[in-house]
A and B are shown apart, each in its own frame.
Chain A
Amino acid sequence: MVAPPDGVVGEGFFATKLNDVVGLARANSLWPLPFATSCCGIEFMATMASHYDLARFGSERVSFSPRQADMLLVMGTISKKMGPILRQVYEQMAEPRWVIAVGACASSGGVFDTYSVLQGIDKVIPVDVYVPGCPPRPEQIVDGVMKLQELVKSESVRRRSSPEYQELLASYNIK
C-alpha cells in the first residue's frame, strides 16, 4: 500500500494538494519503455520478471511504443550512429516523461571510450536518474525506479511548462 500524502482528514473527506495527488498517481503508474541494446537489458528482463517484479511499483505495463510510455530506460551501449534514433524515441514520448540511464555505458560510455560510442546518453537527451553498475543488478534498477518515483512525487504539475524546463529542452535542441 502506498501511504497517502499529507492532508487534512475529517469525517467523510480528505483534503490535500493537487500536486501531491497527481504526483502520487504518476509515481505509481510509470509505464516503462525499455531501450535495451546489451547486457543491462538482460538485467531489466529479470527486473520485470516474477522474482524482482517491477509490477509491484506500478510498472506492470511495458510499453513498446514511446507514445504511451512515461519512463524511458536506456540500457546498454549507445553508439554515435544510434544517438539520433534514441533522440527521436525521446521526442516521440508525451509529456510528462522521465529518463533512467541504466548501467555504465548509458551513463558515461563505460569502458567504451572510443570514437564510435556516445559518451553517455546525456549528450543527446536529458536524464533524471543514473543507475551505476556493469551491469547493475535488478535490485539496483529497482532502486533507480524508486528514486525516480520520489522525483515524480515531488515534481510540480507545472514543472513541464516552466521556463527552466523549456530552457533544458532547448539546450538539447529538443522541441
Chain B
Amino acid sequence: MAQEIADIQEIVEAQFGTAVRNFHMDFDVITFEVDAEKNTALLLFLKNEETLQFHFLTDLCGIHYPENDDDHQFAVVYHMHNWVTNTRIKIKAYVNATPEIKTASNIFLCANWMERETYDFYGIHFSGHPQLKRILNMDEMLSFPMRKEFPMEDSGRTDKDDRYFGRTTTNA
C-alpha cells in the first residue's frame, strides 16, 4: 500500500513548516522542495520517522538552471525509496550561483560517491564531505562539464568537417 502525497505532506509540514513547499506529483513521483540549509535535517527525518521510513537513497544528482534567478541557479535532487510500502519521493534543494550544501554522506554512505559525481560535473560543494574530489573525469580538468555554459564538443578536434556533422546551416 503506497503512501499518499497528502499524508506525507502533512507529516513533513508539521515538522518543517515553511522550509518545505510545492508538493506535487511529477511523472507519478511525489516531489517537493526544501530550503538548502534544511537538507540534512529533512533526510534524517524521512529516514528515521516511523511513519515514513524512507531508508534508501536511490539517487543524488545536480541540475543547472542558467535561466533562473541567482538564488536558484542549481538544484540538488534527492531520490528516496520506502521499501516497505514501495513509495518513491523526489526532493529538490535549490542553491545559488556559488553552490554549497551540506553533505548527506554521514546519513547515507552511498551519498559519498554520488556527491563526488555531482561535484565533478556541476561544481556543487558539499560541505563536510570526507573526500570531495573528481571521481569520473580526469583530475586535470578545470571546468564542470555539465554546466550549460561549458561546450560539449571537444575543442581539440582537428579532422572533422563541420559539413558532415550537420553543424552548418547551408551544407556548403
When C-beta atoms are compared, the residue in chain A nearest to B137 turns out to be A116
Q: Given A115-B145, A115-B150: A81 and B138 within 8 A (CB)?
A: yes
Docked complex: A47-80 residues within 8 A CB-CB of B = 79-80
Q: Tell me whether B169 is interfacial, beta carbon within 8 Å.
A: no
A81–B137 touching, CB < 8 Å? yes
Task: Give the distance in Å from the alpha carbon of A119 to the alpha carbon of B157 in the complex.
Answer: 6
Q: Interface digits, A110-153 against B, CB 8 Å rule (1 contact, 0 not)?
A: 00011111011001000000000000000000000000000000
Name the B residues within 8 Å of A115 (CB-CB): 141, 143, 145, 150-154
When C-beta atoms are compared, the residue in chain B nearest to A111 turns out to be B165
Interface size class of B (residues with CB under 8 A): 10 to 19
Task: Give the distance in Å from the alpha carbon of A80 to the alpha carbon of B157 in the complex.
Answer: 13
Classify the interface of chain B: helix, strand, loop or mixed.
loop
B138–A114 touching, CB < 8 Å? no
Task: Name 10 interchain pairs, CB-CB below 8 A, sorted by A.
Answer: A80-B137, A81-B138, A109-B157, A113-B153, A113-B157, A114-B152, A115-B141, A115-B145, A115-B150, A119-B156
Q: A113-B165, A117-B154, A119-B158 are in contact. List 20 more A-B contacts (CB 8 A).
A: A79-B138, A80-B137, A80-B141, A81-B136, A81-B137, A81-B138, A108-B160, A109-B154, A113-B153, A113-B154, A113-B160, A114-B152, A114-B153, A115-B145, A115-B150, A115-B154, A116-B145, A119-B154, A119-B156, A119-B157
